[in-house]
Amino acid sequence: MSIDVHPQAPPASLPERRELGRLYGREPSTIAGELQPSSSTVRYRSNLSRGQRITVTAMGGLHMALAAALVVFLILPANLPKLSSNPVVAAVAVAGLLMMVGLQVIAGLRSWSLTYHTRVARDPIPMVAQPGQRVAVLTTIVPGKEPVELVMTTLRAMKRIRHDGLLDVWLLDEGNDPEVRRLCEAIGVKHFSRKGRAEWNTDTGPYRRKTKHGNHNSWRAEHEMDYDVVAQMDPDHVPYPHFLERTLGYFADPDTAFVVAPQVYGNLKQSFVARGAAESSYMFHGVVQRGGNGRQAPMLIGTNHLYRPTAFDQIGGYQDCIIEDHLTSIVLYTNTNPDTGNSWRGVYTPDILAVGEGPATYSDYFSQQKRWAYGVWEIVRQYSPRVLPKMGTKQQMLSFVALQLHYPITAPAWLFGVSVGAIYLVGGISVTQLPLHIWVTLLGSNLVLGFSLAQYLRRFNLAAHERRSWGLAGMVLDTVTFPIYIAAALAQLAGRPLTYVVTAKGSAATGDTWRTFRPHMVWLAVSGGSIGAGLLLDHTNGSLMFWSAVTAAICLTPMVQVAAGRLAALRADTVEPAGVLQPAFG
């Protein structure tokens, strides 16, 4: 059998997103509680009882202790590798041991990051908005990435937002399409485009061409100061009518620079990737961002937030970075409100106020994750060392250190795991004399405890269906994305620029091809080659063979899933032959 590779057709079109958004309904949009009278200071309430805080601290601490115990066992003299007289072989053995130690350090850092935020998770107490504020609500459209019908759905929902004061809805159109302008005019939406304006289409800086921050900063330059508050959301995020009623009140505190709401996806049933993308964000919005409130450092999320124009004007608007929201957060926290002398603050509300559409194909999800991982590496290398120490408090700085750990430690974790197996299976070099039963006991206990902690934290997920979910699809999707994190790290460390790519939505979703999985094929060859070498050279070690087989399975899983789904669709005659993976027999 031979297989001709063609782009996989994107998942079938879906009902309008408000229908899908019924997963969230009215209740999750008022999680923070009833609106209270306006106050000049944002107040908070804790999410955890005393018992829950003790439980989380104990589980996180035990998880870190198990990782530390494994490190201790690895470096005990009796368990150290026997070094060869060959200096190269000896160096490889030592490197392998350090990698094994590094894997446990990474496990401990993950636990610390999660526990550091969860222990202090809290929600803001919502306040009644002050009447008469001038508000702009923005979204964008990029030709070829965001279908017009998708954007119009969002714009019509924006027009239904309730507000006691001036409310202008704007579309920032990168293509300056006459038909888009006509549609905006028909429903009373203001239209803006920077197309053809050289000063707003630069190679670098705040107006960088073909970037989200460049688009928004161009609008800011011309219109921002006409408003007291600016809200913006991605074009796939459909807001609820009470979006402003639940958020504007926080700006009564003069030090509030921005308010950010959860990023949730309503298209969970569209595909495995869509479900996994949604589930992988539950913990971040359920406990990590709430912990950001507790550390006075919630992160700005670009999908839906509001900001104070005077605060953004002070820092020059959205920062020039492929993940502009993350860097903008950091820079804001290093600046002070000139009227009060206090540091600018952010507020994370757990209220689900807009329902979006997550990536539904591996191509779009991998593209999104590669951009995020690349951006974090860029920030960690170029900005964090000099910017984080300037933050107002130590806990703010540590909060962002914890946030920035994920991608930079995930890449070496994958690399170390693959390398340790290859060192023995290919080279026959042992990196430890640790007895297998001790290794299995400690590592197994660590994995079980980590999974148990994740399940315990489900109770803090925002919506009922999120709390019911075990999050397995998200865990699997995150795991099969490891090769992408490696690719992002290598690209950034090598100084190769990564072009800003909008995550395609709706009918513009990108189909999957074998090209999507090139990084997976590389690591599949490495792990498969290691297993083959081990068998041929009689370097057989059961645990390392198993580990390499797991690596190979991780790499194969998305490719097998896509191929199987495509073949099943063809057999059922539910997909047109053009644009799909077609089997050819003969």
Q: Where are the domains of the chain?
A: 27-44+123-365
pTM, whole model, 2 decimals?
A: 0.90
Residue 35: closest CA among 458, 461, 351: 351
Domain 27-44+123-365 of CATH type 3.90.550.10: yes
Tell me, what's the pLDDT at 509?
67
Token representation of residue 154: 């969002």
Residue 56, C-beta contacts closer than 8 angstroms, at least 6 positions apart: 48, 115, 118, 119, 453, 456, 457
Tell me, what's the pLDDT at 581?
32
Helix (H) or strand (E) holding 60: helix 50-75
Give SS3 for 129.
coil
Q: Tell me the C-alpha distance between 490 and 563, whole Å.
A: 28
Cβ–Cβ under 8 Å, residues 165 and 135? yes
Q: What is the pLDDT along the chain (586 residues), one digit of tens a residue?
A: 333 333 444 444 444 444 444 667 666 889 999 999 999 999 999 999 999 999 999 999 999 999 999 999 999 999 999 999 999 999 999 999 999 999 999 999 999 999 999 999 999 999 999 999 999 999 999 987 789 999 999 999 999 999 999 999 999 999 999 999 999 999 999 999 999 999 999 999 999 999 999 999 999 999 999 999 999 999 999 999 999 999 999 999 999 999 999 999 999 999 999 999 999 999 999 999 999 999 999 999 999 999 999 999 999 999 999 999 999 999 999 999 999 999 999 999 999 999 999 999 999 999 999 999 999 999 999 999 999 999 989 999 999 999 999 999 999 999 999 999 999 999 999 999 999 999 999 999 999 999 999 999 999 999 999 999 999 999 999 999 999 999 999 999 999 988 766 666 655 567 889 899 999 999 999 999 999 999 999 998 888 999 999 999 999 999 999 999 888 878 876 544 433 333 222 2
Token representation of residue 102: 């590094």
Q: Tell me the C-alpha distance between 446 and 106, whole Å.
A: 12
Tell me, what's the pLDDT at 3?
33
Tell me, what's the pLDDT at 585?
25
Cβ–Cβ under 8 Å, residues 166 and 288? no
Give SS3 for 585.
coil
Tell me, what's the pLDDT at 501?
67
Tell me, what's the pLDDT at 507?
57
Tell me, what's the pLDDT at 586?
26
